[in-house]
Structure 1
Amino acid sequence: MVFSSESFLFLFLPLFLLAYYATPVRWRSATILVGSYTFYAWWRIDFLGLLILTTVWAYGLGALISRHRGTAKGRMYLTIAVTGCLGVLGIFKYLNFFLDSIAALVGTDVAGLGIHWRLILPIGISFYVFQSISYLVDVHRGDAKANATLLDFAAFIALFPQLIAGPILRYKDLEDQFRQREHSVELFCDGMARFIIGLAKKVLLADAIAPLADLAFAAEDPSMALAWFGAAAYMLQLYFDFSGYSSMAIGLGMMMGFRFIENFNMPYISRSITEFWRRWHISLSVWLRDYLYIPLGGNRSGVARTYMNLMIVMTLGGLWHGANWTFVLWGIWHGGILAIERATGWDKSSSRHLIALPMTLLFVLIGWVMFRAATVDEAFGVYAGMIGLNGLMPDPSTWQAVTRESLALLIVAFGIAASEPWLRGIFRPDPAIRISASGAAALTRSDVVAQATLSVAVTVIGALTIMKLAEQSFSPFLYFQF
């Protein structure tokens, strides 16, 4: 089940919200848990068991770590707990990759090794395993308390708005919210607006320009024009698809009284790769910093070690996205640029240079080609097209496969991404979209006009999105594969 499906929008979500608000406050975690497990089991009920086992494992070991915190036994329990979580992730996400790599080294395939099975990747496993690890480490550090009930902790791990594709939440940030959180008409309406905007990003923009990216990456020898169009289309498709999911997750959380962290902050206005990673997939960037980069020594162990740490973190961050050499190379690409920016001071001085923005966008786009490609060879085929080795223009039959709608919406998507600071500042300086359901008398006239305009705009966007959704085929979110 995906957020942009009729079964979610018109069946699951209304029934869940009715059940949630009909449940007494003290039992709402139970409603969240049942609803979230139902949501996950809609995909495959057998993998629900893995989610439950991971939850029980983290909860039980977290209690032992808390009881023996600061002792050798506590560190031993932490090692066991994190190893177990990484073991689950390693087996289900990377065993196929490992076997394929071994087979390639000996010049055969996995069937030639006598292996005739493949593991299915459980959806959302990277996210709920990372959340479990952060909880265990935070308990060890004393940043989180292991005093939650199993019900609350299970509801946190399985919380369906972010279960499949984030943002990556940390228990210490939601601990108090599970005990007490705000429920109001105003917050519910704010959340609904965030959800509608996120749905529109996915349906009206990301899905509409996806055929351009698919066409370029499916071409055997893409021309220069097709390669650049396809790379730019994927760059925008991924942003609006993933940021759209994050907006929907944040909006759903608000409708339930939760406040999640923002996951995107206008990444395509960045003037360095360092700044880009402060704006793109923020929850992952912060997780990698707090649980990998800093424990490795961060920038405290000398210049050479700092660069090495950056490379290690970004390479592992690339591998987190998928078991493929394309993701490893994508991580190395970003890690190398981060190290160069740190070494040259560009991370601090880039804002003063006019070339910084287009250069950063070019580096990001080059990286996205490797990220999108199914194989390293496919990525270099697109790179060859981008530098003109396959000719300048595609044949007429290729252009016929490109719709005017896709080209027009590619331009619209580019305009929206480029003008996000201006769009956010139209109604209020706070980047959160807000529709007030009360307190209008306390607002200034301009505030009333702005909020009324925003209400109408969101309503129109929502209607257009539903109409578009009714006529298109199923399209999962891109980050579901991670």
Structure 2
Amino acid sequence: MFYLNMNALLAMCGMVFVLMATRKWPQNKRILMLLFNVGFLFLWSGKLFTFYLIYTVVNYVMFVYLCRTPVWRKFSFALFILANIGAVVLFHMLGKNTEGSFLADGLMTLGLLFNVLKVIDALYFAYFFGKEGQVKLLDYVNYILFVPTFTSGPILKFRDFMADLKKPYRVDSAEFQFGVKRIILGLFKKVVVVVWMTDIFNIVMKQELHTHQSIFLMIWFYLLIYVDFSGYSDIAVGFGRLMGFTIPENFKKPFTSPTLTQFWRNWHATLGDWFRDHIFIFFSRKTPSKLMTAGLSILIMTLMGLWHGFSWLFLIYGVYHGVIIAIENLLGKTTVIRRKVSKPYFYFRCLLTQVLVVAAIIINMNDYDRVMRIYKGLFHLPF
């Protein structure tokens, strides 16, 4: 949530100019980014800084151990992953049941949701590459605490980030222009469009809901969360590029996805990629059957739902998407290639996919009373 704070924005802009001014120093990205990432968190919140200092060092020890140990590798690998998943569960529980606790902090919990996925990706890298995958502490800290993607993603892959970190800082005029435009676009979405759309949504919610109003709210909320989250992603991509890092795109034209399988490759793409990569990898030695793929689809989407929040609503949301994707797998309908089908058929499939998405998107509000009020409104005819 740093991007809504003027001091944070100025700090990131200042870091960009420092990197530009020291571009002839080969280590400027590694050393200066470390100072910036750590210093930023320290100035933002001493509690946040203390927690992440401990969390990062502990996970680095696990990472190094997994790189070096020749024994108990599978056991250690599983144990370290379960420990990080346990941390997420603990934070969700504290966030709901504890006030004023050292751990019950919204920003820490939000950051942990994304950073634990990066930690696990690094553990995978250490497990499969061993000593060849080991990196220095300062590089690991930069990966975990990279400020532009700290609270809202996109989710960085360990291998890609380390490759960028080793490259000298080279940002030419074209990349600078690209980065600035993405930041401006993201800020416009977040500060102007989202505020306006939220006001409209709240105005309609105060009315007595009939069928057409509930449908409007579901579609409007869908567009609202797209603008909101894509705005954050735009800013992260822009600042990442200005700092010399290639941040993966989180949204890849999701509205023209002809299947729900393809939709989740285009909507919050880095999250979907993460879950697919880290679950399917255990079945990579042989091609899974359609039935196994369908089952894995339900598992992945259920986990993605629970990742957003531990509630019945998010569980239902994940299972709903998982079941539909499983059906697409069983029927062999996971992909529609645009150039191989007629335009009417392609756009019909896109429309059908959007209808399926809109039908459940309102669950993302995670407010049972408001969600049920909107669904009940669907059956409340205005005549």
Bin the TM-score by the shorter chain.
0.7 to 0.9
- Counterpart position of 1:381: 373
Does the aligned pair in 2 maintain the 1:190–1:251 contact within 8 Å? yes
Specify which structure has the higher proportion of helix.
2
Does the aligned pair in 1 maintain the 2:298–2:323 contact within 8 Å? yes
**RMSD between aligned residues:** 2.7
Provide Cα deviations, 1:134-188, integer angstroms capped at 9, x if missing partner: 0011111129944321111101111111111111001111212212144233222
Distance, in Å, in 2 between the alignment partners of 1:141 and 1:44 is 36
The amino acid of 1:392's aligned partner reads P
Distance, in Å, in 1 between the alignment partners of 2:158 and 2:275 is 16
- Counterpart position of 1:28: 29
Distance, in Å, in 2 between the alignment partners of 1:116 and 1:82 is 27
The amino acid of 2:379's aligned partner reads G
Distance, in Å, in 1 between the alignment partners of 2:132 and 2:229 is 31
Distance, in Å, in 2 between the alignment partners of 1:224 and 1:182 is 55
Does the aligned pair in 1 maintain the 2:68–2:130 contact within 8 Å? no
The amino acid of 1:12's aligned partner reads A
> Structure 1 residues 256, 120: closer, same or farther in 2, change over 3 A?
closer
Does the aligned pair in 2 maintain the 1:144–1:171 contact within 8 Å? no
- Counterpart position of 1:162: 149
Distance, in Å, in 2 between the alignment partners of 1:144 and 1:367 is 45
The amino acid of 1:58's aligned partner reads N
Identity %: 25
Q: How far 1:297 moved relative to its partner?
A: 7.3
1:193 and 2:192 are equivalent in the alignment? no
Does the aligned pair in 2 maintain the 1:124–1:165 contact within 8 Å? yes
Q: How far 1:88 moved relative to its partner?
A: 1.5
**Structure 2 residues not aligned, in runs of 5+:** none
> Structure 1 residues 299, 383: closer, same or farther in 2, change over 3 A?
farther
Provide Cα deviations, 1:13-61, integer angstroms capped at 9, x if missing partner: 3332333334544243232233223443455321222222221122211
- Counterpart position of 2:52: 51
Does the aligned pair in 2 maintain the 1:57–1:81 contact within 8 Å? no
1:235 and 2:226 are equivalent in the alignment? no
- Counterpart position of 1:105: none
Q: Which among 188, 193, 201 is matched to residue 213 of structure 1?
A: 201
- Helix, strand or coil at the partner of 1:263: coil
Does the aligned pair in 2 maintain the 1:213–1:229 contact within 8 Å? no
1:202 and 2:190 are equivalent in the alignment? yes
Does the aligned pair in 1 maintain the 2:291–2:330 contact within 8 Å? no
> Structure 1 residues 319, 299: closer, same or farther in 2, change over 3 A?
farther
1:358 and 2:351 are equivalent in the alignment? yes
Distance, in Å, in 2 between the alignment partners of 1:52 and 1:347 is 43
> Structure 1 residues 327, 181: closer, same or farther in 2, change over 3 A?
farther
Q: How far 1:252 moved relative to its partner?
A: 0.5
Distance, in Å, in 1 between the alignment partners of 2:267 and 2:257 is 10
- Counterpart position of 1:140: 127
Does the aligned pair in 2 maintain the 1:41–1:47 contact within 8 Å? yes
The amino acid of 1:55's aligned partner reads T
Q: How far 1:310 moved relative to its partner?
A: 1.1
Q: Give the TM-score normalised by structure 1.
A: 0.70
Distance, in Å, in 1 between the alignment partners of 2:336 and 2:182 is 34
Distance, in Å, in 2 between the alignment partners of 1:116 and 1:127 is 22
Distance, in Å, in 1 between the alignment partners of 2:246 and 2:131 is 18
Does the aligned pair in 2 maintain the 1:210–1:233 contact within 8 Å? no
The amino acid of 1:383's aligned partner reads Y
Q: How far 1:243 moved relative to its partner?
A: 1.2
Q: Which among 314, 318, 321 is matched to residue 331 of structure 1?
A: 318
Provide Cα deviations, 1:106-130, integer angstroms capped at 9, x if missing partner: xxxx7xxxx8877334231111111
Q: Which among 279, 299, 305 is matched to residue 312 of structure 1?
A: 299
- Counterpart position of 2:270: 283
Distance, in Å, in 2 between the alignment partners of 1:34 and 1:234 is 39
Provide Cα deviations, 1:203-228, integer angstroms capped at 9, x if missing partner: 33222212223344x54852223222
Where does 1:388-427 land on structure 2 (aligned, <5 Å)?
388-389=379-380, 391-392=381-382
Deviates more, 1:242-251 or 1:136-145: 136-145
Q: Give the TM-score normalised by structure 2.
A: 0.87
Does the aligned pair in 2 maintain the 1:161–1:249 contact within 8 Å? yes
Distance, in Å, in 1 between the alignment partners of 2:181 and 2:140 is 28
Distance, in Å, in 1 between the alignment partners of 2:203 and 2:51 is 37
Provide Cα deviations, 1:457-478, integer angstroms capped at 9, x if missing partner: xxxxxxxxxxxxxxxxxxxxxx
Where does 1:171-182 land on structure 2 (aligned, <5 Å)?
171-182=158-169
Q: How far 1:249 moved relative to its partner?
A: 0.7
